[in-house]
Chain A
Amino acid sequence: MDYKTMSVDEFVAGIRGKKFTAVDAVKTFVDRAKKDKHNAVLEVFASWKDQAAAVDAKIAKGQAVGVLAGVPIFIKDNVLMQGHRASAASKFLENFVSPYDSTVIRKLKEADAVIIGRANMDEFALGGCGTKSAFGVVRNAVNPEFVAGGSSSGSAVAQALGYCLAAIGTDTGGSIRIPASFNGVVGVKPSYGVVSRYGVVGMASGLDHVGVFANSASDAQIMLDVIAGRDYFDRTSVEKPVIKKDVKASSLRIGYVKNLLDPFIAPHKDVYEKVFAQFEAAGAKRKDVKIKDVEKAVQAYFAVMCGQATSNLARYTGTRYTQSKAAETLEELYLASRTEFFGDQVKTRMVSGSISLAWSDGHSIYKKGLEMQRQFTADFAKVFEEVDCLLLPTMIGPAACVEKYYARVNENRVFLTPANFAHVPAMTVPCGVVDGLPIGLQIICKKYDEATMFAVAKMFEEMRGAK
């Protein structure tokens, strides 16, 4: 039986209906993950078998099991699970074993999911390329010579290569959507606060979003439904919004972001034009819109992101988590440890962050960035008075080699960071193949309108003739 092509619902039904056991089915995923050649996997948890056996035992006893019964899941290495390592792909946390469960893990466990391992990522989630892990470059699922995209590189590749049925990632400026589009899977970044950040290694607290990878929009929807919700331990979390509702194509207003798409001369523009044509053929109304000050917003985003990341990384000093450099004085200990255990990308961002946070007479670049975030969020919300969703490319083109990726990195930010800055939901769905590589369609909706976003994604999957 090919479990990896099953939908989550089919898989859970099979386990509940005793067509196969969780242990047997999950083993097929584990076996593939153990043979990983893309450096997507940092560790397959030995505990997977006990977790799966516990689900089988419940079923054997006739007890109720959760909506993710037996579903094998990879987690990004910045998601904490009690008794298991979580390194955020940094030397600093190489030996760190979490003493507690993140809220996401707690909810997955309550739904009887089987967490089978931790996936590689860019160190501390800083990076969009998948090349910045302290534990090696992650290779693209389709073409191993190309980048996987990041920072949730391993999660996306694990999903694409069938190491799991769903994966957890985080997205602070595109870190779920980039690798999802590069590896041809669905990636969802919900509205800010929909999923608790408690127990997820913080990068930029006000921009960090926990989200999911899946094979389809409906699988992603099931996953988000499980992990979403207000959490006592995360005071920025919110009540779970409506995740599922019916939307008719004929009542849908789709937004074409003129000021982003017109100057963008993509060789693949026709792919997106076709998407619009398909929606219009189904009765949706296309409307041209403009996102105000989007270039300025990207710069402000960068100041805020680097500032928050620098602050969150202040706790790694060499006095804890076993990683420490011997030194004569405390200051030397900090300096030596931080020099040794942080990677280049992290250091670069901390230089930017320190400049952003530099405080003088009550002013800082960071503070200005926050003001711009408030303004941009308000302006962006107005766009959704005219349309129900924005349809955009996720990335300008498919995965490439490292040099080509970096050549377009700033252009790509314009498509990715607005959703983080304005805290609105965004997801990517595979929408075509260019030069043998997948590309993604990005769907952005207004804050907490996850329901429309999923409905549009499912509508598109049907149009595209996908499963």
Chain B
Amino acid sequence: MSTKYDVVIGLEIHAELNTATKIFCRCANTAGGADVSEPNRNVCPTCMGMPGALPAVNRMAVEKSILAGMAFGCRINDVVMFERKHYFYPDLPSGYQLTQLERPQCLGGGITLSTGKLIRLNRIHLEEDAGKLVHDEVRGETLVDLNRAGTPLIEMVTEPDISNAAEAVEFLEEVRSRLVYSGVADCKMEEGGMRCDVNISLKPAGAKKFGNRVEMKNLNSFKMVARAIEYETKRQAKLLDDGKAVAVQTRKWNDASGISTPMRGKEQEVDYRYMPDPDQLMIRITDGDVARIKKTLPKLAHELRAEFVAMGLPEYDADILTRDKDLTKFFINALGSYPSAKPLANWIMTHVLARATNYRIEISPVQLVSIIQMVDKKDISQKNALEIIDEIWGTEKDPKKVAKDKGFTNKVAAGEIEAIVVELMATNEKAVADYAEGPDKVVNFFMGQVMKRTGGRADSVVVKEIVVEKLS
């Protein structure tokens, strides 16, 4: 793109909090792992918007929204207060959404990108999710499923600090990482656990005044966000080049066709008739509450990355090991019983991750450490080790038992082999002296002697390793 225009981008990100129960009732939360095998399974008068039903705010949802704010360095509001936002839609059972307008739970904060650029957050507020409509094409009916109604959501709104698709994607990846590592959200985009709207406008390079803003919706992956920004930047630049105005509107991204289409214009903007929810009272958040919640904030990926580097890991390794929360947890757990960071990192990066899809590691740290220790003690060979990992993957099998069953350790122990080799070397000085001239011949001689002495029960690979090590 030419440098004729500055691109101004702001993001609105929704993430579902993974509390056990919904935000205003005691129904199981879809984003917290509730059983959603059938529609309207987790519903009650409150999340169905029944006459007479009232909201009873879930303290955990409030605390998780505060934790999220802490992960981005936000100021925490000293009250909890919800407003009603009115609009009619069948998936919104009470005719209004409970959200926060005037008193968002968290204010300010932000993320510094790898380039050193700060992307500021305006706010993070807490609200309830709506249900889902299910269209039955066969019967020509639309049905309402309220399992998701009342799922706690946080909405993060950035300042218009982002200038291009790459910055947007880096920002979103870091947001996801912090929400996941802080334990408040799982951010599964494919399941709608994290959603993103983009506000984008262009202005002549260096100009103070912002151009007309377009909001882009229906962006279900980071890739779509990038594509939509690139498309919209070009579209708006073309309009401005042609001397036309950019209409203030909301546009829908169609990923298949790679274009955006208008959804509604400014004149169709609705008055949501916001009002404080009269069904609940304000709750005060004290300094003591904030201090207590802060103590429960786990270390975030960027902090762990720094710790791993301080431990002696190369930046590359530290980076890989902090790309996924479960992976990081696996590494830290394994490190507890196997405190050699670099060899452990090698095992995980080369052998464990090679077998995992989407970071789903299907062996335990205990199992892995047990295997590595067998290799270190030369009880089994490296090749045996990989065979064991394949064998126990997805099971709770004991690697030691597998090694024994497979006959890897039925063989003579490494220590015993070593003793035999030392003894043979002492009684065969000539052969030792010949090593430099014909190493293969000498190695074969000693191996043959060891196999003879052990009745063939020694692992030839292990024997060879030891013989070579002792001779050279």
Task: Give A contacts to B, CB under 8 Å.
Answer: 78, 80, 86, 88, 93, 96, 98-100, 102, 197-202, 204-206, 232-236, 307-308, 311, 313-317, 319-320, 330, 334, 354, 357-359, 362, 364, 366-367, 370
Q: Can you sample 17 A-B contacts with CB below 8 Å?
A: A78-B51, A86-B52, A197-B52, A199-B53, A202-B279, A205-B277, A233-B56, A314-B86, A314-B88, A315-B93, A316-B95, A317-B95, A319-B90, A359-B271, A359-B272, A366-B275, A370-B276
B residues 38-87 touching A (CB-CB < 8 Å): 45, 49-57, 84, 86
Contact of B52 among A200, A317, A330 (CB under 8 A): A200
Task: Tell whether B393 is near chain A: CB-to-CB under 8 Å.
Answer: no
Contact at B93–A311, with CB atoms within 8 Å? no
Task: Tell whether B327 is near chain A: CB-to-CB under 8 Å.
Answer: no
Inter-chain contacts of A93 with B (CB < 8 A):
51
**Given known A-B contacts A80-B51, A88-B51, A354-B273, A311 and B45 have beta carbons under 8 A apart:** no
Inter-chain contacts of B279 with A (CB < 8 A):
202, 205, 235-236
Contact at A96–B51, with CB atoms within 8 Å? yes
Inter-chain contacts of A100 with B (CB < 8 A):
45, 50, 53
Q: Tell me how far the C-beta of B270 lies from the nearest C-beta in chain A, rounded to whole angstroms.
A: 10
Inter-chain contacts of B90 with A (CB < 8 A):
317, 319, 330
Task: Tell whether B281 is near chain A: CB-to-CB under 8 Å.
Answer: yes
B residues 269-314 touching A (CB-CB < 8 Å): 271-281
Inter-chain contacts of B102 with A (CB < 8 A):
362
Q: Tell me how far the C-beta of B45 lies from the nearest C-beta in chain A, rounded to whole angstroms.
A: 5
Other A-B pairs, 19, CB within 8 Å; known A236-B278, A317-B88, A357-B86: A86-B51, A93-B51, A102-B52, A198-B53, A198-B54, A199-B53, A202-B51, A202-B279, A234-B56, A308-B278, A311-B96, A314-B86, A314-B96, A315-B49, A315-B93, A319-B144, A357-B275, A359-B272, A364-B274
Q: Tell me how far the C-beta of B25 lies from the nearest C-beta in chain A, rounded to whole angstroms.
A: 9
Task: Tell whether B409 is near chain A: CB-to-CB under 8 Å.
Answer: no
Contact of B45 among A88, A99, A202, A330 (CB under 8 A): A99
Contact at B94–A315, with CB atoms within 8 Å? yes
Inter-chain contacts of A334 with B (CB < 8 A):
88
Inter-chain contacts of B278 with A (CB < 8 A):
204-206, 236, 308
- Give Cα A356 to B95, complex, Å: 17
Contact at B281–A236, with CB atoms within 8 Å? yes
**Given known A-B contacts A202-B279, A206-B278, A235 and B273 have beta carbons under 8 A apart:** no
Inter-chain contacts of B96 with A (CB < 8 A):
311, 314
User: Nearest A residue to B142 by beta-carbon distance?
Assistant: A330
**Given known A-B contacts A317-B88, A334-B88, A235 and B56 have beta carbons under 8 A apart:** yes
**Given known A-B contacts A205-B279, A235-B279, A359 and B273 have beta carbons under 8 A apart:** yes
B residues 80-112 touching A (CB-CB < 8 Å): 84, 86, 88-90, 93-96, 102
Contact at A359–B274, with CB atoms within 8 Å? yes
Q: Tell me how far the C-beta of A267 lies from the nearest C-beta in chain B, rounded to whole angstroms.
A: 39
- Give Cα A232 to B54, complex, Å: 10
- We find that the number of chain B residues with CB closer than 8 angstroms to chain A is 32
What are the 7 tightest A-B residue pairs by CB atom distance, in nearest-first order? Answer: A314-B95, A206-B278, A205-B278, A357-B273, A199-B52, A201-B51, A315-B95
Contact at A235–B54, with CB atoms within 8 Å? yes
Contact of A307 among B49, B56, B272, B275 (CB under 8 A): B275
Chain B contact residues, majority secondary structure: loop
Contact at B86–A311, with CB atoms within 8 Å? yes
**Given known A-B contacts A80-B52, A235-B54, A314-B95, A358 and B280 have beta carbons under 8 A apart:** no
Contact at B51–A235, with CB atoms within 8 Å? no
- Give Cα A86 to B53, complex, Å: 13
Contact at A315–B54, with CB atoms within 8 Å? no
User: Nearest B residue to A320 by beta-carbon distance?
Assistant: B93
Inter-chain contacts of B271 with A (CB < 8 A):
358-359
Contact at A235–B272, with CB atoms within 8 Å? no
Q: Tell me how far the C-beta of A106 lies from the nearest C-beta in chain B, rounded to whole angstroms.
A: 12
Q: Tell me how far the C-beta of A251 lies from the nearest C-beta in chain B, rounded to whole angstroms.
A: 34
Q: Tell me how far the C-beta of A237 lies from the nearest C-beta in chain B, rounded to whole angstroms.
A: 9
Q: Tell me how far the C-beta of A210 lies from the nearest C-beta in chain B, rounded to whole angstroms.
A: 11
Q: Tell me how far the C-beta of A89 lies from the nearest C-beta in chain B, rounded to whole angstroms.
A: 12
- Give Cα A348 to B274, complex, Å: 20
User: Nearest A residue to B88 by beta-carbon distance?
Assistant: A334
Inter-chain contacts of A236 with B (CB < 8 A):
278-281
**Given known A-B contacts A205-B278, A359-B272, A315 and B51 have beta carbons under 8 A apart:** yes
Inter-chain contacts of B86 with A (CB < 8 A):
311, 314, 357
Inter-chain contacts of A80 with B (CB < 8 A):
51-52
Inter-chain contacts of A199 with B (CB < 8 A):
45, 52-53
**Given known A-B contacts A235-B56, A334-B88, A364 and B51 have beta carbons under 8 A apart:** no
B residues 116-151 touching A (CB-CB < 8 Å): 144
**Given known A-B contacts A99-B45, A307-B275, A364-B275, A202 and B52 have beta carbons under 8 A apart:** yes
Contact at A311–B84, with CB atoms within 8 Å? yes
Q: Tell me how far the C-beta of A347 lies from the nearest C-beta in chain B, rounded to whole angstroms.
A: 16
- Give Cα A274 to B281, complex, Å: 42
- Give Cα A133 to B95, complex, Å: 24
- Give Cα A330 to B133, complex, Å: 13
Inter-chain contacts of B280 with A (CB < 8 A):
235-236
Inter-chain contacts of A317 with B (CB < 8 A):
88, 90, 95
Inter-chain contacts of A358 with B (CB < 8 A):
271, 273
User: Nearest B residue to A197 by beta-carbon distance?
Assistant: B54
- Give Cα A199 to B56, complex, Å: 13
Inter-chain contacts of B88 with A (CB < 8 A):
314, 317, 334
- Give Cα A80 to B54, complex, Å: 13
Contact at B52–A201, with CB atoms within 8 Å? yes
Inter-chain contacts of B49 with A (CB < 8 A):
315
B residues 407-446 touching A (CB-CB < 8 Å): none
Q: Tell me how far the C-beta of B52 lies from the nearest C-beta in chain A, rounded to whole angstroms.
A: 4
User: Nearest B residue to A93 by beta-carbon distance?
Assistant: B51
Inter-chain contacts of B273 with A (CB < 8 A):
311, 354, 357-359, 364
- Give Cα A199 to B44, complex, Å: 12
Q: Tell me how far the C-beta of A172 lies from the nearest C-beta in chain B, rounded to whole angstroms.
A: 12
Inter-chain contacts of A367 with B (CB < 8 A):
275
Q: Choose among B57, B277, B279, B280 the residue with the greatest number of A CB atoms under 10 Å from its CB.
A: B279
Inter-chain contacts of A314 with B (CB < 8 A):
86, 88, 94-96
Inter-chain contacts of B272 with A (CB < 8 A):
359
Contact of A235 among B52, B93, B281 (CB under 8 A): B281
